[in-house]
Structure 1
């Protein structure tokens, strides 16, 4: 099967990181293509950036999915699940966002979970999404590490340390059984944090790839998009 992974921001280096994480998570026989728009915000931090990213996101979805050889499944690789509902209404194949996939995996395997994201401006969006997915009772708290998205690549060691500190705080105060990393740019940190803090750490790229594989294997139909 073939999975299209769309990073809605324009930062190609982040798209590359996402692609590597997706390929590492994919089963034998699954291929992935990670792409990003040519225009739009360099990162998505809050609802204004999400809105600004929609035209580029829709354009790249149409470019790859309306031709003669569409993919078998699609992943929106922004933790805000930017444009997910709109594209889900149009999609003839299974589609998820890395936020939704991570929340559902955490809820199924190690609830309650706490989310550690980037900036506080993203918290209302994530909390709204969690509630809309019917998972509010499984979420202990959404926390911000106060690291700008692009700093995840510019200052990786400092970012990892700050995120780890927030994981420790969540473990101490939230009574959570797992941590969800709330940004696609954190995809390569999950294994390190899981080892360092001895708690399940879930990142959305791998979770979304696994979700897509399950849906396709189960014979997904576009009349059932849950």
Structure 2
């Protein structure tokens, strides 16, 4: 089985963090590759960033289709381009927020999200409303650390741990969801420190895609997620069009 993990931003160091998390849980029969978006923002911290990241995500999906990839993980907590990717990929596509939130509902009665910047909290709430039952997400909390500052600062773990611990008490939640792919490396240590399940969406999405592929399941092409209607697309030089993927 071949799984591609797509980092929707253009920062290769973050792709390396994402890849370590995915490989740690991938099964022995899984060929996994983590790829960096060829275009777009260095990090995704706004609706503008998210919109500009989608063409790069779709390009990596289209390339994967040509290479025979069986399933995909979109490794950004905003799940950018998820619905569009499902229209063009033959196999399953899972976003890390989607996977993490679904997993959290299986581990406790309520979860708290710990994310990066406060301005991204609204997007996390929107996704929680889409993915989980009312009341499952008890709170979304921002540590106010920019995405690109998560790596290499020894103080980051302490700040995220303190925020998560306070969130558990304030929200009355049982589970912590890490709200950024760049936090993936903190998951095991935070679980030990907090004494509750801490869910990294990269790992959760990787295992979920593996499971769907093993079950022979893919996105339904009936209705909304059917391949996009054939038409002319005007794109930047070198950018794959959706017609390349279907």
Length-normalised TM-score, structure 2: 0.87
Where in structure 2 are the equivalents of 1:118-157 lying within 5 Å? 118-155=116-153, 157=154
Match in the other structure for 1:199: 196
Q: How many residues align?
A: 222
Quick check: 1:103–1:135 contact (8 Å CA) kept in 2? no
- Residue-by-residue CA offset, 1:128-165 (whole Å, 9 max, x unaligned): 1111124342111111111100010142x111111011
- Aligned ranges for residues 1-226 of structure 1 at < 5 Å? 1-65=1-65, 67=66, 69-155=67-153, 157-223=154-220
Task: Report the CA distance between 1:214 and its aligned residue.
Answer: 1.3
- Backbone CA RMSD of aligned residues: 1.4
Assess, with a 3 A threshold, how the Cα gap between structure 1 residues 221 and 39 changes in structure 2: closer, same or farther: closer
Structure 1: give runs of 5+ residues left out of the alignment. Answer: none
Matched residues in 2 for 1:133 and 1:90: separation? 21
Preserved CA contact (<8 Å) 1:93 1:222:
yes
Deviations 1:64-116 (A, max 9, x none): 22x1x321110000011011011112221010001100000001122300000
Query: Contact between 2:107 and 2:197, CA under 8 Å: does it hold in 1?
Result: no
Q: Tell me, yes or no, if the aligned pair for 1:79 and 1:184 is still in contact at 8 Å.
A: yes
Superposition TM-score, scaled by structure 1 size: 0.94
Larger helix percent: 1
1:120–1:144: 8 Å Cα contact kept in structure 2? yes
Rg: which structure is higher? 2
- Contact conserved, 1:94 with 1:215, CA < 8 A, in 2? yes
